């Protein structure tokens, strides 16, 4: 019988919108976490294909609480870095989602964590790395969490609703400067 497990990743916020939209990584490949697990590229492909067949995505939860969904994922895929995702907190309809949004803006919440099970042949122990290599994951949910196990899975971007044209222009100017400095480093 498969048991549900959790694998935590930090969340990196590049921008946050007052619509509650965000982007980030729910899992990062090749990183040994605090549970001595390493997710390998391709681990999510079968699960994501099953979700796609169902026409939906895993749940967006608060702190792995199944009774506390706080939004929806709008996109989820593997790329070279890990499990890339986009989501939207239901900040207009759910007080807990609004609270989570406030924590994201303040930086007091910065982690993502996946809830999953592993098929019997989905992992193996690598004695050289002293870690379990997770090769297949049945993904159930991705939560916003306070304390992640893997420090490299972060929210990359939180989008903001533009209040007026001047505000939009100011944000664009700041973004251009930010990109200029980022590409030079």
Q: DSSP labels for 93-114?
A: T-HHHHHHHHHHHHTS--EEEE
pLDDT by residue (tens digit) across 38-60? 999 999 999 999 999 999 999 99
**pLDDT score of 23:** 87
Give the global pTM: 0.77
Among the options 21, 23, 47, 64, which is catalytic? 64
What's the number of domains the chain is made of? 1
Confidence of residue 24 (pLDDT cuts 50, 70, 90): confident
The catalytic residue among 47, 113, 136, 143 is: 113
Mean pLDDT, range 117-140, rounded to an integer: 96
Q: Is 113 a residue of the active site?
A: yes
pLDDT band at 174 (very low <50, low <70, confident <90, very high): low
Residue 34's pLDDT is 85
Query: What proportion of the chain, given as a percentage, has pLDDT over 70?
Result: 71
Our answer to whether residue 136 is catalytic in this structure is no
Q: What is the 3-state secondary structure (H, E, C) of 13-67?
A: CCCCCCCCEEEEEEEECCCCCCCCEEECCCCCHHHHHHHHHHCCCCEEEECCEEE
**Residue 10 and residue 24: Cα distance in Å, rounded?**
10
Structural domain for 22, as ranges: 5-184
Catalytic status, residue 124: no
């Amino acid at each position: 019988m498969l048991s549900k497990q959790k694998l935590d990743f930090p969340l990196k916020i590049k921008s946050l919108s007052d619509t509650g939209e965000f982007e980030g990584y729910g899992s990062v490949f090749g990183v040994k976490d605090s549970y001595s697990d390493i997710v390998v590229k391709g681990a999510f492909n079968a699960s994501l294909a099953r979700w796609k067949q169902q026409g939906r995505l895993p749940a967006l939860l608060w702190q792995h609480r199944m009774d506390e969904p706080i939004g929806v994922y709008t996109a989820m895929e593997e790329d070279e870095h890990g499990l890339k995702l986009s989501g939207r907190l239901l900040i207009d309809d759910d007080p807990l989602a609004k609270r989570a949004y406030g924590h994201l803006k303040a930086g007091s919440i910065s982690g993502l964590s996946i809830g999953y099970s592993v098929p019997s042949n989905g992992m193996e122990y690598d004695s050289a790395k002293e870690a379990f290599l997770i090769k297949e994951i049945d993904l159930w949910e991705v939560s916003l969490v306070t304390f992640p196990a893997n420090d490299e899975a972060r929210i990359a971007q939180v989008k903001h609703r533009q209040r007026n044209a001047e505000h939009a222009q100011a944000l664009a100017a700041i973004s251009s400067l930010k990109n200029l400095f980022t590409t030079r480093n």
